Amino acid sequence: MQQIQTISGKNILEGNYTWISPSNIALVKYWGKHGNQMPANPSLSFSLSECFTQSTLEFTKKDKPGGLNIEVELDGVPSASFKEKILTFFNKVINDLPIITEYNFKLKTHNSFPHSSGIASSASGMSALVLCLITLEADTEGYEKGDEFYRRASYFSRIASGSACRSIYGGMVEWGRHTEIPESHDMYAIPYPFEPHPVFNTYCDTILLIHEGAKSLSSSAGHELMHRHPFARQRFEEARHNLSKLVSIIRAGDVEEFGKIVEKEAMMLHALMMCSEPPYVLMKPNTLASIDKIWQYRRETKTPVHFTLDAGANVHVLYPAAHKVEIEQFIAAELAGFCENKKYICDTVGTGPVFLG
């Protein structure tokens, strides 16, 4: 990472910071990694508005730096599993982020959506934590919270959880080197560098909560299976090709071609899971039933509604804001019945993380 110019900082003995950080939904999927959370292919995402993590990091300075100490509460309940993930992350970055050895921490965190169900809770959760840590670093070392601050936050969020690096920014976000994306990088995400057609700035994403429980296989385990996947090389090339095609499509505002590629990416992601070794399936019967209903509705009405899937059973219904009324009526009438307890989340493209103080 580029060194940040510092001015006089502060000797902060105790305090707390609170950040809200969004989940994101990948349009071109990141699936497969190498080294220290480096992507095997570039990805593109929408950051969301209503699906987010709000985290407060309390800290007290140690008498002498050393060791790692953090307590974690998820919705007011101690979370040993999340604490373990954070300590794993801390051990990876202890040399590059020494401030974590100088304080005792307590993290209080809350998701606005079901945890571990395929709505990228690790992306919003880990990026919120990292934003708190980098804010503490910035205040103690005395550097500005500008572009380099967010790039540094994205860099460390990537190490915490790959797709978390995309949650550092709002709107459309790209991660991974690509010859047609200026300043794209494997080590951190960047705001999509081209001006998208206005239709994509207010795009809607209604998330059908087909299954609210934890997934049968974690995303981390799924990524590992790509190392010996028979179609890995073809998949990585296809992702680059799809991102190339999307550049002109997004500029032109062609929602039909946009939807075709996004749906293909979703189906390919789950096809890769089904022909992994060992194979596994994260879709549920109602996932497929809702997809079939979306296809039928689009054929019959010519309405530009499409879907994508993350690494889980839930379906993200994507559509322009101009069609919000009729599509939300369709969702309530035809798709809600496929959801657990008829629950779904009406979301839109969001503006990115928010610092609450």
Res. 215: pLDDT tops 80:
no
pTM of the model: 0.93
Which residues on adjacent β-strands are paired with residue 59? Answer: 15, 105
Q: How confident is the model at residue 183, as a pLDDT?
A: 97
Token representation of residue 196: 């998208």
β-partners of residue 74 are 77, 109
Q: What is the pLDDT of residues 5-23, one digit of tens each?
A: 555 568 899 999 999 999 9
Query: Do 275 and 230 touch, CB atoms closer than 8 A?
Result: yes
Give the separation between CA 204 and CA 306, rounded to whole angstroms: 11
Q: Would you state the pLDDT for residue 249?
A: 98
**Any residues with CB less than 8 A from the CB of 182 and at least 6 apart, and which?**
193
Please report, rounded to a whole number, the percentage of residues in the chain having pLDDT higher than 90.
Answer: 86
In this structure, of 2-11, 87-96, 98-107, 271-280, the range with the lowest mean pLDDT score is 2-11
Structure token digits, residue 139? 């205040």
pLDDT tier at 42, thresholds 50, 70, 90:
very high
Mean pLDDT over the full length of the chain: 94
Pairing of strands 103-111, 70-74: parallel
Residue 300 pLDDT greater than 60, yes or no: yes
Tokens 């009406």 appear where?
346
Compute the distance between CA of residue 152 and CA of residue 158 in angstroms, rounded to an integer: 10
Mean pLDDT value of segment 286-299 = 98
Give per-residue pLDDT as tens, 176-200.
999 999 999 999 999 999 999 999 9
